[in-house]
């Protein structure tokens, strides 16, 4: 099969050896006649001259495999008629679990309260995890993995998704139960995709439903939270926000998140797609496409993910 690596050039050196090892029957190319490719491996930023990729000439392509989990910058392309698959990488899921559980434990244990100033603060013993309510917004692959990991540590975990699809071992709330999900969230983990239904989901009204002193961990998309409303909520009793994703990245140096005492900024490092594990996901989907088998992680264009 002939496959176009339609991704920024900076990714080639890391991805091409892993992809060729996982799928040796593939002829992986960086350029060529669009009509000759059986599939595309795609990441936004290609082509690198600022143009939006026109998928129309790729008449033979049976699948467009995204290198990233988020596909919001791809599904809006009107020329894309080929099946689109998002990336679900075991390494990415593990990285997200480690990031979210690490920050959740830091918030739960109140680690930042123990200033190294000679003051003995043994009245600040935290409750056990079973007394702490955690809500995970977004119960896709990443949300389910994080929710199960936090439940395994003993937290009282609930998930929320629009559909409310069940997850064994986790209470999952749906749709109109969002206020209930927020009311119980002493720690709120946000892992929703960027869609028309999730943008500014956490506005002033919904942020006000969180318990006083709650911590927000947003590793989903920056568009989920109304930034001005979040800053106001932090000034009015919300505890802390750990933010890994933003509407503009890199986050500009003058942005108020950098200097707010109740905000921790991390530079979009919560989870990374790792070529050594993700290449096997790509290879499996390419083989499925070539033999006409059902594709893995096929994107629902109407839902946007």
Contact 62, 38 (CB under 8 A): yes
pLDDT digits (tens, 9 = 90+) for 263-301: 999 999 998 899 999 999 999 999 999 999 999 999 998
Same structural domain, 209 and 100: yes
Same structural domain, 71 and 46: yes
Same structural domain, 131 and 85: no
Q: How far apart are CA 202 and CA 200, in angstroms?
A: 5
Q: Is residue 12 in some structural domain?
A: yes
128-133 average pLDDT score: 98
The residue written with tokens 């392509």 in the block is: 61
Task: Check residue 234 and give its pLDDT.
Answer: 98
Same structural domain, 138 and 77: no
Q: Is residue 85 in some structural domain?
A: yes
> Active site includes 108?
no
248-270 average pLDDT score: 97
- The overall longest dimension of the chain from CA atoms, in Å, is 71
Strands (E) in 148-230, as ranges, are 156-161, 171-174, 187-190, 215-218
CATH code, domain carrying 250? 3.40.50.720
What is residue 277's three-state secondary structure? Answer: helix
303, pLDDT greater than 90? no
Q: Is residue 301 in some structural domain?
A: no
Same structural domain, 152 and 227: yes
Q: How far apart are CA 182 and CA 214, in angstroms?
A: 10
The total domain count for the chain is 2
Catalytic residue among 106, 156, 199, 268: 268
Same structural domain, 254 and 282: no
Range of the domain at 97: 90-265
Q: Is residue 298 in some structural domain?
A: no
Same structural domain, 129 and 10: no
Q: Is residue 199 in some structural domain?
A: yes
Q: How far apart are CA 56 and CA 59, in angstroms?
A: 7
pLDDT digits (tens, 9 = 90+) for 77-124: 999 999 999 999 989 999 999 999 999 999 999 999 999 999 999 898
Same structural domain, 60 and 143: no
> Active site includes 240?
no
Catalytic residue among 206, 221, 240, 297: 221
Same structural domain, 85 and 110: no
Same structural domain, 246 and 181: yes
Q: Is residue 297 in some structural domain?
A: no
pLDDT digits (tens, 9 = 90+) for 142-187: 999 999 999 999 999 999 999 999 999 999 999 999 999 999 999 9
**What region, left, alpha or beta, does residue 69 occupy, with left being phi > 0 and alpha being psi -120 to 50 degrees?**
alpha
Q: How far apart are CA 266 and CA 222, in angstroms?
A: 12
**How far from 147 is each of 20, 134, 209, 219, 253, CA to CA, in Å?**
34, 9, 21, 14, 33
Q: Is residue 240 in some structural domain?
A: yes
Same structural domain, 114 and 209: yes
Same structural domain, 52 and 156: no
């Amino acid at each position: 099969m002939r496959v176009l690596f339609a991704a920024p050039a900076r990714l080639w050196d890391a991805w091409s050896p892993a992809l060729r090892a996982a799928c040796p029957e593939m002829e992986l190319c960086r350029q060529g006649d669009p009509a000759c490719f059986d599939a595309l491996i795609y990441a936004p930023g290609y082509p690198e001259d600022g143009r939006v990729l026109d998928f129309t000439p790729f008449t033979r392509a049976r699948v467009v495999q995204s290198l990233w989990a988020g596909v919001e910058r791809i599904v809006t392309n009107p020329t894309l008629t080929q099946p689109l698959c998002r990336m679900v990488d075991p390494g990415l899921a593990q990285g997200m679990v480690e990031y979210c559980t690490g920050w959740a434990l830091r918030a739960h244990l109140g680690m930042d309260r123990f200033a190294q100033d000679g003051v003995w603060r043994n009245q600040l013993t935290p409750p056990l995890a079973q007394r702490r309510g955690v809500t995970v917004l977004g119960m896709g692959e990443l949300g389910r993995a994080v929710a199960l990991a936090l439940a395994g540590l003993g937290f009282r975990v609930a998930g929320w998704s629009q559909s409310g699809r069940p997850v064994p071992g986790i209470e999952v709330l749906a749709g109109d139960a969002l206020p209930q999900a927020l009311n119980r969230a002493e720690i709120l983990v946000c892992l929703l995709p960027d869609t028309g239904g999730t943008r500014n989901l956490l506005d002033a009204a919904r942020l006000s439903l969180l318990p006083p002193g709650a911590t927000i961990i947003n590793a989903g998309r920056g568009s989920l939270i109304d930034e001005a409303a979040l800053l106001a909520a932090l000034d009015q009793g919300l505890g802390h926000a750990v933010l890994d994703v933003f509407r503009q990245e890199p986050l500009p140096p003058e942005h108020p998140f950098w200097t707010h005492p109740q905000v921790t900024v991390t530079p979009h490092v919560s989870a990374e797609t790792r070529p050594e594990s993700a290449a096997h996901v790509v290879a499996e989907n390419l083989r499925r496409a070539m033999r006409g088998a059902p594709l893995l992680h096929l994107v629902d264009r109407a839902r946007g993910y």
